[in-house]
């Protein structure tokens, strides 16, 4: 507890994708000395309760409005040195970071952000996939399809998918028909590989569904996946089995870079 009138710091901490062990060391250390923690729904409560001190006030924000959330954090920051807003994955993706930061700024409450492992990365890890491969794609787009939140101009799935790069599609498992329509409109072939990971990293609950543009919806239906899933479309999917992979230049023996001289010197491309 602080004795001065000054506010403690509110830390926005990325809790990671579900496995409590995927919280960062920094996040865990902050939780271990937190006076109060507000977590976002069932996804992250285990990380909070596992390391929080017994005296810590822990609350769930699932029934709170954004106004309630900022008021709660400000009130706790008046009483505690360390207050935590625990969010799934990374706080910079599809959270309410800025909406909550603004009232805190207005109240003069100091705040910091600790990044977390996004579910997009946990999904790649679960399936042993790489979002980038030399000469296949060097670009990954994090997006969603339009639900209640409208997509800004130029960001419709057909427009984004026209790049034929990796697409990590959040918040869209119940809108797979829109995902499919968007990819088709952008010219993706029916046999384009697709991946859906449900509860990536959750011990004992993770589900990996592989399919193609033609059948991924049916496969997800068969697996009973209706929530908490990452939809990935990418020309890199399944590369683990490719016999003729173009190797990264970085480890090519003939490629000189900052840290290693080529065995047979050649100019870098």
Q: Give me the least distance between CB of 4 and ligand SAH, in Å please.
A: 34
| Spatial contact of 195 and 209, defined as CB atoms under 8 Å apart | yes
Q: What is the DSSP string of 83-115?
A: EEEEESB-TTSSS-HHHHHHHHHHHT--EEEE-
Q: Give me the least distance between CB of 172 and ligand SAH, in Å please.
A: 7
Q: Give me the least distance between CB of 54 and ligand SAH, in Å please.
A: 28
How many other C-beta atoms lie within 10 A of the C-beta of residue 169?
28
Q: Which is nearer to ligand SAH, 47 or 80 (CB)?
A: 47
**Rounded to an integer, what distance in angstroms lies between the CA atom of residue 50 and that of residue 158?**
43
Q: Which is nearer to ligand SAH, 72 or 94 (CB)?
A: 94
Q: Which residues bind ligand SAH (CB under 6 A)?
A: 17-18, 88-90, 93-95, 118-119, 122-123, 170-171, 197, 199-202, 228-230
Q: Is 43 helix (H, G, I), strand (E, B) or coil?
A: helix
Q: Which residues of 207-226 are buried (b: 16+ CB within 10 A; e: fewer)?
A: bebbbbbeebbeebeeeebe
Q: Is 211 helix (H, G, I), strand (E, B) or coil?
A: strand
**Closest residue to ligand SAH in the complex (CB):** 89
Q: Which is nearer to ligand SAH, 125 or 262 (CB)?
A: 125
Q: Give me the least distance between CB of 12 and ligand SAH, in Å please.
A: 11
Q: Give me the least distance between CB of 142 and ligand SAH, in Å please.
A: 8
- For the chain, percent helix, then strand, then coil, each to nearest 5? 30, 20, 45
Q: Which is nearer to ligand SAH, 122 or 179 (CB)?
A: 122
The phi, psi pair for 262, rounded to 5°, reads: -65, 145
Helix residue ranges, H only, 203-257 = 216-223
Looking at the DSSP assignment, which residues form a beta bridge with residue 168? 142, 232
Q: Give me the least distance between CB of 119 and ligand SAH, in Å please.
A: 3
């Amino acid at each position: 507890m602080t004795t001065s009138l000054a506010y403690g710091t509110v830390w926005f901490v990325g809790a990671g994708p579900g496995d409590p062990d995927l919280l960062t060391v920094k996040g865990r250390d902050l939780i271990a000395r937190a006076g109060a923690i507000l977590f976002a729904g069932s996804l992250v409560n285990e990380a909070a309760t596992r390391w929080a001190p017994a005296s810590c006030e822990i609350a769930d924000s699932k029934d709170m409005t954004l106004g309630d959330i900022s008021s709660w954090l400000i009130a706790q920051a008046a009483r505690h040195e360390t207050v935590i807003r625990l969010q799934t994955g990374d706080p910079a993706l599809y959270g309410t970071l800025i909406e909550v930061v603004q009232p805190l700024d207005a109240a003069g409450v100091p705040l910091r952000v600790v990044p977390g492992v996004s579910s997009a990365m946990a999904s790649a890890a679960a399936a042993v996939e790489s979002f980038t491969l030399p000469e296949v794609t060097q670009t990954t787009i994090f997006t969603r399809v339009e639900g209640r939140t409208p997509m800004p101009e130029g960001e419709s799935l057909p427009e984004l998918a026209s790049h034929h790069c990796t697409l990590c599609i959040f918040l869209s498992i119940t809108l797979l028909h829109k995902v499919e329509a968007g990819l088709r409109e952008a010219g993706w072939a029916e046999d384009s590989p697709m991946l859906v990971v449900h509860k990536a990293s959750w011990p004992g609950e993770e589900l990996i569904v592989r399919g193609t543009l033609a059948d991924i919806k049916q496969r997800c239906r068969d697996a009973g996946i209706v929530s908490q899933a990452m939809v990935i479309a990418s020309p890199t999917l399944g590369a683990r089995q490719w016999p003729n992979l173009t190797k990264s230049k970085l480890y090519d023996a003939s490629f000189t870079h900052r840290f290693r001289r080529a065995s047979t010197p050649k100019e870098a491309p």
